[in-house]
C-alpha cells in the first residue's frame, strides 16, 4: 500500500487547531486528494437497485444529481424525522456546549473544525432548522438556518464520510447525542440521490451476491478453509475438521470474511480452528452466511437488514441450535443492537448453552448469538482448555478496544481475561484511550481505502499515539484487537506512526498458547515466527518484568 | 456577530418592558395578560413538542454504554454505566439529570510536539453547568413563597438554607451569587474559547443573556432598589388563584423582571432549552443494555429485498457441486 505523501513528522506538524476567520457556513468544502473516498461503482449501485447509478467523482463540478434532488432529500428527511425519535431529539436538543468537540479522532488528527462532532451534526441541523423549525423559517441565518444547496450536499458527503460511526462523542455528550446515528441517516439521504462511496457500495453488493464482502464464491471459501486446516497441521501436527454447510450441527459459526482471506486476520482463523477442534465443538461454517461484517450498516438501515437477514436464514436452514460470532466490531453492533429487531425473533433457535461447560449464555437468550470472547472466557474460567502462556512470550501485548464491542456491548473484561490467561506480558494503554473511551482505528464505516489514506492516518493518530506510549514505556510489540477492520487498518497505521508493533486477534494469542492433544512440539507461533523472547523489544524502553503490569 | 445580535435583542426587550411598564394603565397588560399568555405558550409548547417527539417511534435499541456488560456471572458488570434493567436505567438517568454524569467525564486534549497527545481531566464546564442549573432550580423553588399562602414548609426550609450565611440586610442568598457567577462564566466561555465561539449561534447567547438579565434584575430588586413585596405577593397569589389583581406602585423594575421571565417562558419551547424534557427521551441513555436479552420491536420494520439461499444455490450450484459442498437441490 502506498503511504500518504507526507512523512509522519510533516503530517503532524501540519495539524493545527486554528479556526478559519469566516463563519462555518461561508467556508466551502475542498476535496483534497488523500482525504476523501471515490464514488460508488455504477455497476454495483445498479445491481443493488439503488437510485441514480452513473459515473461521477466528488471532484467533478457537476454531480449529475436528479433534477428534483432537493425535494428528494427534504422529503427523505421529513420521513426519517417521523421514523426515528433519535433524529428528532438529536436535532432539537444540542446546546452546543462543545463537550464532544475534541473527542473525535478525526478532529484531533485533522484540526478541521467541521470534524468536531457538534459541527458534523450542525451541517444537517442547519438545514433542518431552515425547513422544519419555526425560528429557522422566520429568522433564517440568525437562527442558524441554512438553505440546502449543492455545496451543502458536497459538504455532507465529505464530512459524513469522514465519520467512522465510532460513537466516542456520544459517551461524552451530556444528552448522549449519537453522531453515528446522524451519520447513518445522512448517508441514507445522500444515497437517495445516488451519492455513495465505492468501498461501501461494492462490499455491500458482494455481500449481497456471494455472502461476503470480498466476493469469494463458495468453492473459493472452501479452498481457503481447507488451506488453513493444512497450514494448522503443519504448525501443530494436528489435523482438524472444519465442516462447511453442515446440516444439523449444533452451532453455526460466523466471522468476518477477512478472517479467511486477509492477513493478519488469518492467524485468528487458525486460532478458531485449533480451539474448536480441541474442545470438540459440533459446529459448521457457512458459505451463504460467510460474512460477519455488515457493510450495509455503513449505508442504510434497509441494507443493514438485508445483509443481516442471512444469519438467521442460514441458522434456520442448517437447523443449528445457536450462533457463535467471531471477532468483529460493527458486526457486533448490528448483532447486538439491531438483529433481533430487524430479522427476529429467532424462536427457531435455542437459548445458547456451552456444550463444553454447560454455561447458559443468558445475556444472549433472545438473539441466540454469543460472542466468541464470551464463549472462550467461559471455557478458560471452567478450566476446559490448557494454555501455555510462555508460547506468547515473544509478544508484549496491549489491547485496543474496538469501538462497537466497547460502546455498544460493553464487552470489556472478556477479551482482557482471555489475554491475561494466554499471555505473560499485558500492558494497558492510558485510561482515556481504552474501554468506553477507546479511540477508533480511524478507518471504520467504509473509510478504509487507499485513496483516503491521509485522512485515515490523521484519524488513527490518537490510537497510534497511545500505542506508542506503551511501546516506549513497556516495550509493547503486539496490538491485540477483536475487529476485522482493525486487523486490516491498524497495521499500516502502526507502520506509519509507531513502527515495530504487530497487530492481531485475541484468538490468535489463544491459538498460540493452546495445548492440543496430540500436538507436536511447537517451534513457531501461528505466524511461523520463532517462539523466543523478542530480545530487541526487551531492550527498548525501561519496561518492568512482572506480568500483568498495567 | 451572533453574540451582538442576541445582546441587541435582549436590550430591545428590556427597553420595551421599561417603556411599556412606565406607561400608566399598561400594568394590567404586563402584570396579568403577558404572564398568562406566556404560561399558556410555555405549557402548550412543551406538551406539543414532547408529543411530537413521542409520535416518532424508537425503531432500534441503541444505548451508548460506558461500562462492562452483564454477561458471565463471574464478570462484574457496571449497573450504572451499562445498565441491564430498568432500575439500572433509572439510576443512570438520575446521575445524568441530577449530576450531569457524562459531562463530568469531560477531558481536554492537547497536542504536544512529537506528536504527543495528552488528555487532561477538564471539569470547569461541568462545574459551571451544575452550579448554574442547581442554583436556578433552588431559586425557582424559592419563588413559590410568593405564589402560595401559606408558604409550604420545604420552601421555607430552602429559604433559610440558601440564606444560611446571613450576610447583609436583606439576607444574601448564596444561589444569587452562584447563578450570576456561573452565568458569567458560561458567557465568557462562549465568547473567549475560540472553538466554542466558532460553534455558537445567536440562539446560544440569547438564553444566557436572558437568564443573566432575569437574575440581575432580581438581584437589583432585592438588594438595591427595594420593591414592595406585599404588592408582588398580592399579584402573584392573584395570578395563581385565577383572581388577578393589579396592585399599584410595584415599580417598573419588577415589571421588567416579570417581562423577561415571560420572554423566557415563550422562548423555551422553541429553543434548545428543550434539552430539559429531551434528555429524558434520549435513546442512547434511557434504554437498558439488554439488547440480546429482551426484544425491541420496530413498528415500521418494513420488508427489504434479500438474496435468499435458494437464489444463491441456483447461482452457484455447479461450483458448489464441484467443490463437494452439500446442496439442497441436486
Ligand atoms: C432536567 C433538567 C435539566 C438538565 C438535566 C440540564 C442539563 C444541561 C446540561 C448538561 C447542559 C450542558 C452544560 C452547559 O453548557 O452548561 C445544559 C446547558 C444549558 N442549560 Fe440546562 N438542563 C436542564 C434544565 C434547564 C432549564 C430549565 C434551563 C433554562 C430555563 C436550562 C438552561 C440551560 C442553558 C442556557 C444551557 C447552555 C449553557 C451554555 O450555553 O453554556 N437548562 N443543561
Ligand atoms: S456534547 Fe452534545 S450537547 Fe454538547 S455540543 Fe456536543 S452534541 Fe451538542
Ligand atoms: S461517531 Fe466517532 S467519528 Fe463520528 S463524529 Fe463521533 S467521534 Fe467522530
pLDDT tens column, B103-157: 999 999 999 888 899 999 899 999 999 999 999 999 999 999 888 878 889 999 9
- Closest C-alpha to A89, from B156, B53, B28, B47: B53
Give dist(CA A199, CA A40) in Å, integer.
7
On the question of pLDDT at A29 being above 90, the answer is: yes
Pick from A50-54, A176-180, A328-332, B164-168: least confident? B164-168
Cβ of residue A187 lying under 6 Å from some atom of ligand 3: no
Distance CA A376, CA B77 (A): 18
DSSP 8-state code for residue A327 = S
The pair phi, psi for residue B326, each rounded to 5°, is -65, 145
Give the span between the Cα atoms of B228 and B247, in whole angstroms: 10
**Ligand 1 atom closest to the CA of B137, numbered from 1:** 27
Q: Ligand 3 centroid vs A159 CA: distance in angstroms?
A: 10
A417 touches chain B (CB under 8 A): yes
Looking at the partner chain, which of A84, A143, A366 has a beta carbon nearest the beta carbon of B292? Answer: A366
Q: Give the number of the atom of ligand 1 that is nearest the alpha carbon of residue B187.
A: 41
Inter-chain contact A178–B117, Cβ cutoff 8 Å?
no
- Report pLDDT digits (tens) over A366-397: 999 999 999 999 999 999 999 999 999 999 99
| A116/B195 touch (CB, cutoff 8 Å), yes or no | yes
Question: pLDDT at residue A258 above 60?
Answer: yes
Of the candidates A113, A96, A128, the one whose C-alpha atom is nearest the C-alpha of residue A23 is A113
Of the candidates A447, A517, A153, A138, which has an alpha carbon nearest to the alpha carbon of residue A295?
Answer: A447
Q: Show the 3-state SS of A156-218.
A: HHHHHCCCCCCCHHHHHCCCCCCHHHHHHHHHHHHHHCCCCEHHHHHHHHHHHHHCCCCCCCH
What is the gyration radius of the CA atoms in chain B, in angstroms?
28
Q: Which residue has the higher pLDDT, B160 or A397?
A: A397
In the structure, what pLDDT confidence band is assigned to residue A536 with cuts at 50, 70 and 90? very low
C-alpha of residue A180 to centroid of ligand 3, in Å: 6
Distance in Å, alpha carbon of A306 to nearest chain B alpha carbon: 5
CB pairs under 8 A between A and B: 308
Q: How far apart are CA A467 and CA A399, in angstroms?
A: 9
For chain A, what are the domain ranges?
A: 26-196, 205-540
Whether residue B248 is contained in a domain is answered as yes
Q: Is 70 exceeded by the pLDDT of residue A543? A: no
CA A545, CA A474: separation in Å to the nearest integer?
A: 9
Name residues 503-542 of chain A within 8 A of B (Cβ).
Answer: none
**Nearest CB partner across the interface for B108, out of A88, A102, A436:** A102
Residues of B in contact with A362 (CB under 8 A): 293
B306–A433: do the CB atoms touch at under 8 Å? Answer: no
By three-state DSSP, how is residue A262 classified?
Answer: coil
* Residue A297 in grid coordinates: 450498516
Ranking A414-428, B164-178, B275-289 by mean pLDDT, the lowest is B164-178
Nearest by CB to residue B278, choosing from A102, A175, A317, is: A175
Q: What is the pLDDT of residue B22?
A: 84
Q: What would the grid cell of residue A214 be? A: 470480498
Does residue B140 sit within a domain?
Answer: yes
Asked whether residue B191 is assigned to any structural domain, the reply reads yes
The reply to whether residue A144 touches residue B201, judged by beta carbons under 8 angstroms, is yes
| Cβ–Cβ below 8 Å for A85 and B274 | no
Q: Is cis: bond before B65, omega within 30 of 0?
A: no
User: At residue B2, what are phi and psi to the nearest 5 degrees?
Assistant: -65, -40
| Alpha-carbon distance B262 to nearest alpha carbon in chain A (angstroms) | 18
Q: Which residues have CB under 8 Å from A235's CB, separation 6+?
A: A270, A522, A524, A526, A528
pLDDT at position A281 over 90: yes
Model confidence at A3, pLDDT cuts 50, 70, 90, reads low
Nearest neighbour of B325 by CB, restricted to A92, A244, A408: A244
Q: For chain B, say whether A401 makes contact (Cβ under 8 Å).
A: no
CA distance B136 to chain A (A): 17
In a domain, B107, yes or no: yes
Contacts of B296 (CB under 8 A, 6+ apart): A340, A341, B58, B60, B61
Ligand 3 atom at minimum distance from A107 CA: 8
Q: Identify the CATH number of the domain in which residue B91 sits.
A: 1.20.950.20
Measured from CB, residues less than 6 Å from any atom of ligand 2 are: A 94-100, 117-118, 173-175, 177
Q: Is the dihedral of CA A221, A225, A230, A235 positive or negative?
A: positive
Of ligand 3's listed atoms, the one at least distance from the Cα of A120 is 5
Please compute the mean of the pLDDT values over residues A333-346 and round it to a whole number: 97
Residue whose CA is at the smallest distance from ligand 3 atom 5:
A117
Probe residue for ligand 3, chosen from A440, A458, A463, A489 as the CB with the greatest number of ligand atoms within 8 Å? A440
Residue of A376, A429, A440, A378 whose CA lies nearest to A405: A440
With a 6 A CB cut-off, is A492 part of the ligand 3 pocket?
A: no
Burial (CB count within 10 angstroms: exposed 0-12, middle 13-18, buried 19+), residue A299 = buried
Whole domain around residue B90: which residue ranges? 2-297
Instruction: Kindly state the DSSP code that residue B149 receives in the 8-state scheme.
Output: S
Structural domain includes residue B327: no
Write the residue with the smallest CA distance to atom 8 of ligand 3: A104
**CA-closest candidate to residue A499, choices A540, A441, A549:** A540
CB contact A23 to B (< 8 Å): yes
Q: Which ligand lies nearest to the CA atom of residue A94 in the structure?
A: 2
Chain B residue with minimum CA distance to A123: B199
- Considering every ligand atom, which ligand is closest to the CA of A442? 3
Number of domains in chain B: 1
Task: List, chain by chain if needed, residues with CB within 6 Å of any ligand 1 atom.
Answer: A 95, 97, 174; B 97, 100, 103, 125, 129, 133, 186, 204, 207-208, 211, 273, 275-276, 279
Beta-bridged to residue A284, according to DSSP, are A252
pLDDT per residue as tens digits for the range B179-213:
999 999 999 999 999 999 999 999 999 999 999 99
**Cβ of A363 and B70 within 8 Å?**
yes
Confirm whether B329 is domain-assigned.
no
Question: Does the residue B121 lie in any domain?
Answer: yes
Helix axes A179-192, A69-83, angle to 10 degrees: 140
pLDDT higher than 80, residue A4 = no
Using a CB-CB cut-off of 8 Å, the residues of chain A touching B295 are 340-341, 344-345, 366
Residue A533's pLDDT is: 54
What burial class does residue A28 get, using C-beta atoms within 10 Å of its C-beta: 0-12 exposed, 13-18 middle, 19+ buried? exposed
Give the span between the Cα atoms of A258 and A329, in whole angstroms: 13
Mean pLDDT of all residues in chain A?
A: 94
Query: Cβ A407–B64 below 8 Å, yes or no?
Result: yes
Give per-residue pLDDT as tens, A143-159: 899 999 999 999 999 99
CB–CB of A392/A522 below 8 Å?
A: no
Question: Residue A288: closest CA among chain B residues belongs to which residue?
Answer: B309
Atom of ligand 3 nearest to the CA of A116: 5
Q: At what angle do helices A179-192 and A150-160 cross, to 10 degrees?
A: 130
Share of chain A above pLDDT 90, in %: 91
* Position A425 confidence tier, pLDDT thresholds 50, 70, 90: very high
CA-only gyration radius of chain A, Å = 24
**Rounded to 5 degrees, what angle do the CA atoms B280, B284, B289 make?**
110
* H helices present in A3-116, as ranges: 8-14, 42-47, 69-83, 85-93, 105-110
Q: For residue A93, how far is its CA from the centre of ligand 1 (angstroms)?
A: 10
pLDDT at A547 (0 to 100)? 37
Give pLDDT tens digits for A464-489. Answer: 999 999 999 999 999 999 999 999 99
Determine whether the shortest distance from the Cβ of A443 to ligand 3 is under 6 A: no
Amino acid at each position: 500500500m502506498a503511504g500518504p505523501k507526507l512523512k509522519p513528522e510533516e503530517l503532524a506538524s501540519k495539524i493545527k487547531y486554528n479556526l478559519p476567520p469566516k463563519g462555518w457556513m461561508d467556508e466551502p468544502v475542498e476535496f483534497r486528494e488523500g482525504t476523501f473516498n471515490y464514488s460508488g461503482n455504477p455497476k454495483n449501485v445498479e445491481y443493488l437497485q439503488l437510485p441514480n447509478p452513473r459515473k461521477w467523482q466528488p471532484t467533478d463540478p457537476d454531480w449529475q444529481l436528479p433534477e428534483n434532488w432537493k425535494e428528494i432529500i427534504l422529503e427523505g428527511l421529513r420521513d426519517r424525522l417521523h421514523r426515528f425519535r433519535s433524529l428528532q431529539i438529536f436535532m432539537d436538543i444540542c446546546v452546543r456546549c462543545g463537550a464532544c468537540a475534541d473527542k473525535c479522532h478525526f478532529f484531533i488528527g485533522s484540526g478541521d473544525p467541521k470534524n468536531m462532532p457538534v459541527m458534523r451534526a450542525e451541517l444537517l441541523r442547519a438545514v433542518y432548522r431552515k425547513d422544519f423549525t419555526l425560528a429557522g423559517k422566520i429568522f433564517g441565518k440568525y437562527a442558524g438556518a441554512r438553505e440546502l444547496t449543492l455545496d451543502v450536499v458536497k459538504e455532507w458527503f465529505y464530512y459524513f464520510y469522514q465519520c467512522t460511526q465510532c460513537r466516542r462523542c456520544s459517551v461524552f455528550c451530556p444528552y448522549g447525542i449519537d453522531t453515528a446515528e446522524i451519520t447513518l441517516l445522512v448517508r441514507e439521504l445522500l444515497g437517495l440521490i445516488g451519492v455513495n462511496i465505492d468501498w461501501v457500495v461494492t462490499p455491500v453488493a458482494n455481500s449481497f451476491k456471494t455472502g461476503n464482502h470480498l466476493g469469494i464464491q463458495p468453492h473459493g471459501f472452501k479452498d481457503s478453509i481447507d488451506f488453513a486446516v493444512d497450514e494448522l497441521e503443519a504448525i501443530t501436527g494436528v489435523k482438524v475438521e472444519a465442516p462447511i454447510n453442515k446440516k444439523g450441527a449444533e452451532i453455526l459459526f460466523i466471522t468476518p470474511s477477512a478472517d479467511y482471506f486477509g492477513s493478519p486476520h488469518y492467524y485468528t482463523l487458525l486460532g478458531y480452528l485449533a480451539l474448536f477442534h480441541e474442545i470438540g465443538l459440533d459446529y459448521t461454517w457457512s458459505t451463504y452466511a460467510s460474512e460477519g461484517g455488515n457493510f450495509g450498516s455503513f449505508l442504510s438501515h434497509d441494507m443493514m437488514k438485508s445483509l443481516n437477514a442471512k444469519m438467521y436464514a442460514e441458522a434456520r436452514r442448517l437447523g443449528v441450535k445457536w450462533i457463535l460470532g467471531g471477532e468483529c466490531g460493527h458486526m457486533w453492533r448490528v448483532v447486538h443492537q439491531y438483529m433481533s429487531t430487524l430479522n427476529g425473533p429467532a424462536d427457531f433457535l435455542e437459548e445458547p448453552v456451552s456444550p463444553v461447560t454447560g454455561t447458559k449464555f443468558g445475556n444472549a437468550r433472545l438473539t441466540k448469538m454469543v460472542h466468541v470472547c464470551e464463549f472462550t472466557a467461559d471455557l478458560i474460567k471452567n478450566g476446559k482448555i490448557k494454555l501455555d502462556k510462555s508460547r506468547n512470550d515473544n509478544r508484549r501485548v496491549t489491547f485496543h478496544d474496538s469501538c462497537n464491542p466497547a460502546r455498544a456491548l460493553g464487552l470489556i473484561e472478556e477479551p482482557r481475561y482471555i489475554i491475561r490467561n494466554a499471555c505473560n506480558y499485558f500492558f494497558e494503554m492510558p485510561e482515556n484511550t481504552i474501554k468506553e473511551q477507546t479511540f477508533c482505528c480511524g478507518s471504520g464505516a467504509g473509510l478504509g481505502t487507499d485513496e483516503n489514506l491521509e485522512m485515515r492516518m490523521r484519524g488513527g493518530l490518537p490510537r497510534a499515539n497511545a500505542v506508542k506510549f506503551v511501546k516506549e514505556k513497556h516495550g509493547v510489540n503486539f496490538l491485540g484487537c477483536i475487529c476485522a477492520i482493525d486487523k486490516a487498518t491498524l497495521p499500516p497505521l502502526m507502520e506509519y506512526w509507531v513502527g515495530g508493533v504487530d497487530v492481531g486477534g485475541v484468538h490468535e494469542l489463544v491459538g498460540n498458547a493452546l495445548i492440543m492433544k496430540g500436538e507436536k512440539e511447537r517451534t513457531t507461533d501461528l505466524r511461523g515466527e520463532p517462539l523466543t523472547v523478542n530480545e530487541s523489544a526487551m531492550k527498548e524502553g525501561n519496561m518492568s518484568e512482572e506480568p500483568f503490569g498495567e | 456577530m451572533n453574540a451582538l445580535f442576541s445582546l441587541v435583542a435582549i436590550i430591545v426587550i428590556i427597553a420595551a418592558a421599561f417603556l411599556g411598564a412606565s406607561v400608566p394603565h399598561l400594568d394590567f397588560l404586563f402584570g396579568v395578560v403577558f404572564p398568562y399568555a406566556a404560561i399558556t405558550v410555555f405549557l402548550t409548547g412543551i406538551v406539543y413538542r414532547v408529543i411530537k417527539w413521542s409520535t416518532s417511534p424508537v425503531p432500534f435499541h441503541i444505548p451508548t454504554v460506558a461500562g462492562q456488560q452483564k454477561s458471565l456471572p463471574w464478570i462484574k458488570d457496571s449497573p450504572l454505566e451499562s445498565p441491564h434493567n430498568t432500575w439500572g436505567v433509572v439510576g443512570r438517568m438520575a446521575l445524568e439529570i441530577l449530576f450531569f454524569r457524562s459531562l463530568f467525564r469531560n477531558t481536554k486534549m492537547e497536542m504536544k510536539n512529537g506528536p504527543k497527545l495528552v488528555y487532561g481531566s477538564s471539569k470547569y464546564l461541568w462545574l459551571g453547568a451544575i452550579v448554574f442549573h442547581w442554583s436556578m432550580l433552588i431559586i425557582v423553588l424559592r419563588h413559590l413563597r410568593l405564589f402560595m399562602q401559606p408558604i409550604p414548609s420545604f420552601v421555607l426550609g430552602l429559604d433559610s438554607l440558601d440564606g444560611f450565611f446571613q450576610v447583609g440586610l436583606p439576607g444574601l442568598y448564596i444561589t444569587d451569587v452562584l447563578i450570576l457567577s456561573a452565568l458569567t462564566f458560561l458567557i465568557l466561555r462562549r465568547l473567549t474559547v475560540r472553538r466554542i465561539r466558532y460553534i455558537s449561534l445567536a440562539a446560544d447567547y440569547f438564553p444566557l443573556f436572558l437568564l443573566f438579565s432575569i437574575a440581575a434584575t432580581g438581584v437589583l430588586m432585592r438588594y438595591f432598589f427595594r420593591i414592595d413585596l406585599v404588592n408582588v405577593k398580592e399579584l402573584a397569589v392573584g395570578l395563581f388563584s385565577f383572581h388577578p389583581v393589579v396592585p399599584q406602585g410595584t415599580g417598573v423594575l419588577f415589571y421588567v423582571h416579570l417581562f423577561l421571565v415571560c420572554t423566557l417562558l415563550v422562548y423555551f419551547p422553541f429553543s434548545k432549552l428543550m434539552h430539559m424534557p429531551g434528555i429524558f427521551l434520549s435513546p442512547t441513555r434511557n434504554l437498558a443494555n439488554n439488547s440480546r436479552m429482551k426484544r425491541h420491536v420496530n413498528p415500521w420494520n418494513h420488508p427489504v429485498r434479500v438474496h435468499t439461499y435458494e437464489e444463491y444455490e441456483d447461482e452457484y450450484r455447479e461450483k458448489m457441486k464441484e467443490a463437494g459442498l452439500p446442496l439442497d437441490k441436486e
